[in-house]
Amino acid sequence: MHSFPAPALSLVTAMAADAAADPARAIAFQGAPGCNGHRAALEYAPCCLPLPCFSFEDALDAVKDGRAARAIIPIENSQHGRVADIHFLLPESGLAIVGEHFLAIHHSLMALAPGPFAAAYSHPQALGQSRHYLRARGIVPMAYADTAGAAALVREMGDPRACAIAPPLAAGLYGLTIVEDNVEDAHDNTTRFVVLSREPLAPAALRAEAGEGVLMTTFVFEVRNVPSALYKALGGFATNGVNMTKLESYQHGASFAATMFFADIVGAPGDPAVDRAFEELAFFCRELRQLGSYRQARARG
């Protein structure tokens, strides 16, 4: 909490107190009040108690420690790709994915004065999503821990040549003026969040929650270091008609010989086709870990 800029601290303290009084309703998110994680929590569960946390690790720890029932974490953006470190943090957290939420992202440029501006502060993802806008105006991007925290920082600095890129909500919270709305380079800009809990959804609860909807499963795996292992490992999904909607690789350890894969499929364990595909995948893997099954929030394809 002490790492937030001073203008955000009173809000963080009040929201943390509300969450502590009813942790079953609390959803932890990374960032200062007014950030996109805050928005995502309220859209996903309007009656929740949003709990601001300075880092992604802090938000995950809040769930592990019982200070919040769930956390909502951004995992990928339509314009800027996957969120840094998430592929490492989610498996290491020991938490289960129990939901997903897609949030339309619209950034505003806000400041104490109308400009001109020398530097824009924001989360690296937001800066990347607005890079053409900033470059065209000669504004230097300056990375900060989160978008709304950057707005609080600009307020704290008191520098009229500094601005922040953040959700419009942050301007009202921190007494800044919106200079321009929708400064993102692509107006269909969307971030996918995943919702995590200490326990996975039980099969009966999972299907009851999904109703007539479609289920998703997220997992990580490392294939054995033999020729064609990845091709053979993924063959079970093709032969069983299971749709894989996401497959990304990342390095595991410093040897650069062990590659982990992060994947999403349509379906969940208990479906015979999914069970057969996972059985075949496991045969070719050194490690296979399911991170959770949940209701699909948006159709793929």
Is 147 catalytic? The answer is: no
Cβ density class 140-163: b for 16+ within 10 Å, e for less: ebbebbbbbbbbbbbbeeeeeebb
Is 193 catalytic? The answer is: yes
Q: Detail the DSSP E strand segments found in the chain.
A: 26-30, 49-53, 70-77, 81-82, 96-104, 108-111, 119-122, 140-143, 162-166, 177-180, 190-197, 215-223, 244-251, 259-266, 285-295
Q: What is the DSSP string of 215-243?
A: EEEEEEEEE-SSTTHHHHHHHHHHHTTPP
Catalytic residue selected from 4, 29, 193, 221: 193
Catalytic residue selected from 147, 191, 217, 218: 191
- Residues annotated as part of the active site: 191, 193
